[in-house]
Amino acid sequence: MKRIVLTGFRGTGKTEIGRILAAQHRVAFLDTDSLIEQQTGRSIPDIFHEDGEERFRTIERDVIAGLPPADAVISTGGGAVVDPVNMAHLRRDSTVVLLTADLDTIEQRIARSPRPPLTNLPLREEIAEMLDRRRQNYRASADLCIDTSGTTPATAAVIINDRIGKGVPTPSARKEGLAFFRGGRLAAPALRRLEEVLASPPSDPLTRLLGVAGYPALHSRGPRLFNALFAEYGINCHYTFFEDPAIGRIMDLTRSLDVKGLSVTIPFKQDVMTLVDEVDEATRKIGAVNTVVFACGSATGYNTDWLGIRKPLVSLKGSKAVLLGAGGVASAAAFALVDLDMDVTILNRTPEKAKELAARTGCRWAAWDTFDQIHPDLVVNATPLGMEPDTRSPLRGEQVYPDLTVFDLVYTPPVTPLIEMALGRGCRTIQGTEMFIEQAKEQFWLFFGIDVPSETIRKYLS
């Protein structure tokens, strides 16, 4: 049997439901809090009171690392999912079930719990605060979501077993999904894998899809990278291409197929914002989504592009920069450059778009042909120029000079005409691959709660 891991806040029923599942599958039931008490000879409240939460989390991490790899049902502590090291251990070759409950139910169930408080707030306010603080971590942990508010532990166990046996997508949804992919441009090997995942019955009902949504999308290196990471971390998922001229159709399909997450590329980064249920604060300010996480019936939009752009530029904090472009990725770039206290001027072939983005981000804007008058320290290309089919450089050879840093956000090909030109002129260059690596690292954390080393991503892209 594949290992079943239960996550969720206190009071959602992990222990009772876990015991029922273990008995039904005739495997061991292991509760990480109980294991901590057995190994230390002390109660959880005593550890918190005498040693503090940090020491407790260290012990918890060691216990989770030592859990058996198979044939067990595991119940985890409510805060275990916050640690990326724990998530790497818990997700490996496992089905992770997130148990949820409403605020009233949780409060009623844990009102007499001996566990120490995690804040100085009254119980109900503390529950609300901690649920909000951990929400992203809980969603990243989930292969399946089960609301236990109005169910008995026995009923919840029945629901879990049913979904483990059948999966979440209906046969009609799988059929619709296959028609979508067969009508696209996928190569035969990629299509054969999808036919296995979406068959009725499927080869494994718990294999979940992720993918890149764009038009076009086949240039993306996402499938190569993410499928390699799934093998590395023992995650039962498959990453593919969702290529269609209508982002609405893609979003409808991903919801019906219980897709785990999407990477969003040109031309949908702004349009998809109206199709998700919520966005985080940074994404709202940027006005573009490049990552969608589906969990517990909700789609949440994030932007990891700005983090991928920011990290390679930290050493240039406070520089004078020119940003070429005013689309979705340019919005993320402007946010990153402003966050690094740069003096930013936005240039775009359509000046009205540059003006709008500048007003929204607190930057300057100017006409495209004023580049030579600015003499920046840094230029960031956030246009699609350099990527097939338009392989032109956005700048001419005489416009780049040795003390200029050139960051081209186009990553296919890795060496674009702009990068090649800049290298020839003695400039410092940053390829779009660097942005891709860092934003993909953030995406993987949002999808699965695991912190992948940048060098691991670089290895699979080389």
pLDDT digits (tens, 9 = 90+) for 192-211: 999 999 999 998 999 999 99
User: What tokens were used for 359?
Assistant: 């007003």
- Per CATH, 171-302+451-461 and 307-430 having the same topology is answered yes
Superfamily of domain 3-166: P-loop containing nucleotide triphosphate hydrolases (3.40.50.300)
Average pLDDT, the chain: 96
Q: What is the CA radius of gyration of the chain?
A: 24
Looking at residue 162, its pLDDT comes to 97
Looking at residue 266, its pLDDT comes to 87
**Is the model's pLDDT at 240 over the cut of 90?**
yes
DSSP for residue 315 = G
SS3 380: strand
Give the CA-trace dihedral at 149, 87, 233, 235, to 10 degrees. Answer: 0
Cα angle value 236/240/242 (rounded, 5°): 135
Is residue 214 within 8 A of residue 268, CB to CB? The reply is: yes
Looking at residue 1, its pLDDT comes to 75
Residue 14 known to be catalytic: no
Amino acid at 370: T
Looking at residue 86, its pLDDT comes to 98
Is residue 300 within 8 A of residue 276, CB to CB? The reply is: yes
pLDDT digits (tens, 9 = 90+) for 9-54: 999 999 999 999 999 999 999 999 999 999 999 999 899 989 999 9
C-alpha closest to that of 16 among 142, 124, 101, 140: 101
Looking at residue 352, its pLDDT comes to 96
Give the CA-trace dihedral at 428, 267, 263, 224, to 10 degrees. Answer: -70
Out of 269, 311, 317, 320, which one is annotated catalytic? 269
Looking at residue 274, its pLDDT comes to 97
- State what percent of residues in the chain have pLDDT above 70: 99
d(CA 58, CA 260): 30
**Is the model's pLDDT at 390 over the cut of 90?**
no
Give the CA-trace dihedral at 208, 242, 227, 236, to 10 degrees. Answer: 0
Amino acid at 219: H
- Name the CATH code of domain 171-302+451-461 (choices 3.20.20.140, 3.40.50.10140, 3.40.50.2300, 3.40.50.10860): 3.40.50.10860
Is residue 386 within 8 A of residue 417, CB to CB? The reply is: yes
pLDDT digits (tens, 9 = 90+) for 395-430: 999 999 999 999 999 998 999 999 999 999 999 999
User: Phi, psi at residue 137, to the nearest 5°?
Assistant: -65, -45
Looking at residue 186, its pLDDT comes to 96
Is residue 55 within 8 A of residue 36, CB to CB? The reply is: no
For residues 300-321, give the mean pLDDT.
97
Looking at residue 168, its pLDDT comes to 96
For residues 328-341, give the mean pLDDT.
96
Indicate the pTM of the whole model.
0.93
Q: How many Cβ atoms are within 10 Å of 355's Cβ, its own excluded?
A: 16
pLDDT digits (tens, 9 = 90+) for 83-138: 999 999 999 999 999 999 999 999 999 987 766 677 889 999 999 999 999 999 99
**Is the model's pLDDT at 356 over the cut of 90?**
yes
User: What tokens were used for 277?
Assistant: 């249920």
d(CA 434, CA 38): 46
Superfamily of domain 307-430: NAD(P)-binding Rossmann-like Domain (3.40.50.720)
Looking at residue 286, its pLDDT comes to 95
CA 301 → CA 15, 188, 244, 273, distances in Å? Answer: 32, 31, 19, 7
Looking at residue 267, its pLDDT comes to 92
pLDDT digits (tens, 9 = 90+) for 145-184: 999 999 999 999 999 999 999 999 999 999 999 999 999 9
SS3 421: helix
Give the CA-trace dihedral at 134, 135, 138, 140, to 10 degrees. Answer: -110
| Structural domain spans, the chain | 3-166, 171-302+451-461, 307-430
For residues 442-451, give the mean pLDDT.
98
Q: How many Cβ atoms are within 10 Å of 453's Cβ, its own excluded?
A: 9
**Is the model's pLDDT at 389 over the cut of 90?**
no
User: Phi, psi at residue 339, to the nearest 5°?
Assistant: -65, -25
Helix (H) or strand (E) holding 348: strand 343-348
pLDDT digits (tens, 9 = 90+) for 52-71: 999 999 999 999 999 999 99
